[in-house]
Structure 1
Amino acid sequence: MTRFGICASPCWAQNGPGRQLLKAFSAHLSRCSDPAGGDCRASSAPCILTPPVRPDYSPLSVRAELTIRGIIIGVIITLVFTAANVYFGLKAGLTFSTSIPAAVISMAILKGFRDATVQENNIVQTVASAAGTLSSIIFVLPGLIMIGWWTEFPFWTSFLICALGGILGVMYSIPLRRALVTNSDLPYPEGVACAEVLKVGSSDKTHAADIEHGRAGLLAVLWGAIVAAVFAVIVATQVFASDVAQAFRIGRRGAVSGYDFSLSFALLAIGHLVGLSVGIAMLIGALIGWGWGVPHYSAMFNDVTTAAGQLAQSTWSKKVRFVGAGAIGVSAIWTLLKLVKPVAQGLAGAMAASRARKAGRADTLPITERDIPIGIVGVVTLVCMLPIGWLLGYFGN
């Protein structure tokens, strides 16, 4: 059975067996009408069963997407979230994705404009999501200070590192999109959640519940910021302490360990954003580091004269921390090895799309299936390699 039912007089799709069939498909089919505009029951013309209206992503659809308004909103959100992410990364050792909170904020802002579209909302959260990736630079550049290679952060060198890395990341994402997103079964839970937020923001004005849901999300963000700021002021005035720390000795060989608990609404928010699995992984890492690593390595010194707190911090910074760095290095190498096959598949898909474009079939593709031509990707990548080569020579000298 197709979407089309042949109507006799009386209309088969309105009377007789077709009536029961239409009831069964009532959740997906919205109306039965004569293409000429007349009543199907009085016509012998084909009866067209039209599904509910869906977003039009056809090549002929023209929608406001990359707008000046969206870019300005995205840049402002990016500045705020990047500063917050850098601070939390230096404080807690991890950063959070900014896509979902950016989608909530942009949805609430763009609801005030009558011509806002879900595509424009998506551009805003895409721009703002750069705050989550750009802030990861705190795990790289400070390392040059720690090893003594830099004594300060040169502005233009740091700027070039961030800019070139960002451009290459965008270029690499083009051949990887089909391999890791379109032709992959990866769950992408945060991406799915962000898509749901965007769908709420694109709902019609008749969906009062969706609009109220978006406003509730924005109010939650605002109230969370206010409560966290008030708590930070109270802690800064030392009305009460927010930290509990204690170091202690274990056994007779001078082994030490300790704990340090801190109440912070910012860390609670980070935990909510990164999810339970990441939080449990960090907890297990802390238990391994302070439950085994610090006592094990501190016992090797057999130092019973140094204060327990000082010895514990020294052992953690000089011994245990490098165990974590090794785990990060292994995970990075493992990730690169797993990306070899998807990269090859993505390049093959990009080359196939390039051949289709040269054959004149590009205009028939939906806008969501169009990528930057692989030739442009290659040229931009090669151009970026020139300043990257200069940077490598600069670091080498």
Structure 2
Amino acid sequence: MAESSSEFKPYIPADKITPEFTISSILTGIILAIVFGAANAYLGLRVGMTISASIPAAVIAMGITRIIFKKNSILESNMVQTIGSAGESVAAGAIFTMPALFLWAKEGLINQPSLLSISLITLCGAILGVLFMIPLRNSIIVQEHGTLPYPEAQACAEVLLAGEKKGSDAKAVFSGMGIAAAFKFIIDGIKAVESVIAVPLKAFKTEFSAEIYPAVIGVGYICGYRISSFLFAGGLLAWFVMIPLIVAFGGNTVLFPSDIGVSELYAAGGAGAIWSKYVRYIGAGALAAAGIISLAKSLPLICKTFASAIKGLKGSAASDKSERTSQEISIKAVIIGIVAIAFAIWILPPIQAGIVSALLIVVFGFFFATVSSKMVGLVGSSNNPVSGMAIATLLISTILLKVSGDTGAHGMVSAITIGSIICVIAAIAGDTSQDLKTGYILGATPKKQQIGELVGAIISALTIGGVLILLDSAWGFGSKELAAPQATLMKLVTEGVMNGNLPWSYVFIGAACTVLFELLGLPSLAVAIGIYLPIELTAPIMLGGVLRRLMDKKNKTQSSESSKGVLFCSGLIAGEGLMGVLLAILTVAGIADKIGLGANIPAGVRLAGSVILLVVLVTLIVCHNRSAKNEKAE
């Protein structure tokens, strides 16, 4: 049975004061925010995905706090990871949209984006993302404790707690970290094996694939069978129903946005090409509809939270007497901050947005901050489809701008500006939600964490512009080195709406699917995420969920006896994240290509190695559960 918020007791009691928001934690967090932001910007522009930085930041924070500063404060380490993880989120929001501006500049439609405009756009989104999350904390973090699993927040807390404890718990976390780091280095460092096991199913006009990364399986294990199964169900619907139907009935017909026939597209790129060209739009429509429904369901609780927060403005005395673990930035300061940022978006020339855009940003920003925070609670920030939310925003905002007469290049720039700010808002709100959940488990002071999140977000926003300009100057967005796949899709969506040639039928199919899920009583948000994500992600998440189900049944429990497995999987997520950051640094430094051995290893051998690694990983997870059962028996 899940633990309710009234029964929950944090690791550090509310009446205990320990070092938290210190000069050393702030400076260390700022450095990590800049490093994680730059590394993830490069990775995201190259492969279209970023890595979550909360857990790597927690591990590094723990090491720096204890080894360098000779301190033993878990809340201080938590503050470092709170500030440091903001860099990854700001980078994710910026790289998924803003490169479209650079691509239009190369086409001669607009002038090259300036450092000032990029920084201001990102800064507005970063601050709003944190501010929007503050009034949502009580409803999402506190009152839904035990309902939303927050897998990566739990993993982050377990990593920090492992540093406080001695014995088998810490061993489980750090053994998972070491194993995952080694696996990640073998897969993406020396490239000795394939990262994805793919099985073409030509008779069914599709394929089945699964990543072998430890972190993805670990997320599925922590989420559990139920949530993993709904994600996988969405993946099955996309890859084993929608794709075969499109190929079977499409024939040689040329369907937008492809410029070749469906059969030719399938022959050239397989099921992945069909998913990328068509099904992804269906996923975006499903995700947008699920987000609207999710917000509608949350409105009563959100309104209640706002009402209680406004009541707290009657006097500061009541606030001063509140528990340390309940203190937050005042709702008055939040409202003033939101109004000030909205005014800046409207009035500052470098942002190139008007009052309509400012209003759209406030409305959609709060909407997607809510949705993003709940998604992170379901699947973790690594699998939070921020770009899907950006697509939904671009669809609606571009239509509204077009209707209002703001068309052409200026209208497209305005749409991307709105999309960029919303994307940053969604990313940083999800990160803030995750960090606040970690702090809730550990007993951190929410107000200090919220200030720390603002510090990390502001610093990251002011530095990401230089990183984008540097990378574009070095390789150019849209090139082989920096394909910028997400931003290219955003550009396509914006141009499609403005020019009147967007495949609306796919978007409406996705929305209709979401309505169907709701009528069947299914969690539409989880299933919609499964449609939008490639099956190579949902399949290993499902594997992790199945392993959790089997171990729970074997141990005849739903939580306690599986804790060793949860600790081990938490270590898997942390270890892969740390090695991912290291490999990103090696890539930027030009060292990664020199250590890669993949070109010298036959494809069959690499695939066999992938299968072996997957079997070894599953065996290790099972063994850690057995060791936990044996320890209890003793």
Percent of aligned pairs sharing the same letter: 26
Alignment correspondent of 1:387: 344
Instruction: Give 2:313's aligned amino acid.
Output: S
CA distance in structure 2 between the partners assigned to 1:241 and 1:180 by the alignment: 39
Alignment correspondent of 1:372: 329
Alignment correspondent of 1:257: 205
Instruction: Give 1:268's aligned amino acid.
Output: P
Instruction: Give 1:295's aligned amino acid.
Output: P
CA distance in structure 1 between the partners assigned to 2:276 and 2:133 by the alignment: 36
Describe the shift of the 1:284–1:365 C-alpha distance in structure 2 as closer, same or farther (beyond 3 A): closer
Instruction: Note if 1:72 corresponds to 2:27.
Output: yes
Alignment correspondent of 2:132: 172
Alignment correspondent of 1:310: 268
Instruction: Note if 1:99 corresponds to 2:77.
Output: no
Alignment correspondent of 2:504: none
CA distance in structure 2 between the partners assigned to 1:349 and 1:89 by the alignment: 40
* Cα drift, residue 167 of structure 1: 1.1
Describe the shift of the 1:229–1:362 C-alpha distance in structure 2 as closer, same or farther (beyond 3 A): same
SS in structure 1 opposite 2:294?
helix
SS in structure 2 opposite 1:189?
coil
Instruction: Note if 1:352 corresponds to 2:311.
Output: yes
CA distance in structure 1 between the partners assigned to 2:193 and 2:159 by the alignment: 38
CA distance in structure 1 between the partners assigned to 2:233 and 2:101 by the alignment: 29
Instruction: Note if 1:130 corresponds to 2:86.
Output: yes
Q: Which has the larger radius of gyration?
A: 1
SS in structure 2 opposite 1:378?
helix
Instruction: Give 1:365's aligned amino acid.
Output: S
Instruction: Give 1:386's aligned amino acid.
Output: F
1:70·1:121 contact (CA, 8 Å) conserved in 2? yes
Alignment correspondent of 1:41: none
Superposed CA offset, 1:19-59 (max 9, x none) = xxxxxxxxxxxxxxxxxxxxxxxxxxxxxxxxxxx95644x
Superposed CA offset, 1:87-131 (max 9, x none) = 676688666654344333322332334443222122122223425
Instruction: Give 2:74's aligned amino acid.
Output: V
Instruction: Note if 1:110 corresponds to 2:56.
Output: no
CA distance in structure 2 between the partners assigned to 1:146 and 1:84 by the alignment: 20
Alignment correspondent of 1:363: 320
SS in structure 2 opposite 1:306?
helix
Instruction: Give 2:216's aligned amino acid.
Output: I
Describe the shift of the 1:308–1:122 C-alpha distance in structure 2 as closer, same or farther (beyond 3 A): closer
Alignment correspondent of 1:38: none
Alignment correspondent of 2:287: 328
Alignment correspondent of 1:31: none
Describe the shift of the 1:186–1:162 C-alpha distance in structure 2 as closer, same or farther (beyond 3 A): farther
Alignment correspondent of 2:77: 121
2:198·2:208 contact (CA, 8 Å) conserved in 1? yes
User: Which structure dedicates a bigger proportion of its chain to strand?
Assistant: 1
For structure 2, the residue ranges without an aligned partner over 5 or more in a row are: 1-10, 253-260, 355-409, 416-634
Give 1:297's match in structure 2, choosing from 246, 249, 258.
Answer: 246
CA distance in structure 2 between the partners assigned to 1:136 and 1:217 by the alignment: 27
* Cα drift, residue 169 of structure 1: 2.1
CA distance in structure 2 between the partners assigned to 1:84 and 1:276 by the alignment: 30
SS in structure 2 opposite 1:141?
coil
SS in structure 2 opposite 1:116?
coil
CA distance in structure 2 between the partners assigned to 1:385 and 1:208 by the alignment: 49
CA distance in structure 1 between the partners assigned to 2:196 and 2:159 by the alignment: 36
Describe the shift of the 1:97–1:281 C-alpha distance in structure 2 as closer, same or farther (beyond 3 A): farther
Alignment correspondent of 1:160: 120
1:178·1:349 contact (CA, 8 Å) conserved in 2? no
Instruction: Give 1:293's aligned amino acid.
Output: M
Across the aligned residues of Structure 1 and Structure 2, the Cα RMSD in angstroms comes to 4.0
CA distance in structure 2 between the partners assigned to 1:63 and 1:242 by the alignment: 43
Alignment correspondent of 1:284: 233
What are the equivalent positions in structure 2 for 1:216-255 lying under 5 Å apart?
217-218=173-174, 220-222=176-178, 224-235=180-191, 250=203
2:25·2:80 contact (CA, 8 Å) conserved in 1? yes
1:78·1:129 contact (CA, 8 Å) conserved in 2? yes
User: Which structure dedicates a bigger proportion of its chain to helix?
Assistant: 2
SS in structure 1 opposite 2:82?
helix
2:41·2:50 contact (CA, 8 Å) conserved in 1? yes
Q: What TM-score do the two structures reach when normalised by structure 2?
A: 0.43
CA distance in structure 2 between the partners assigned to 1:169 and 1:139 by the alignment: 16
SS in structure 2 opposite 1:259?
strand
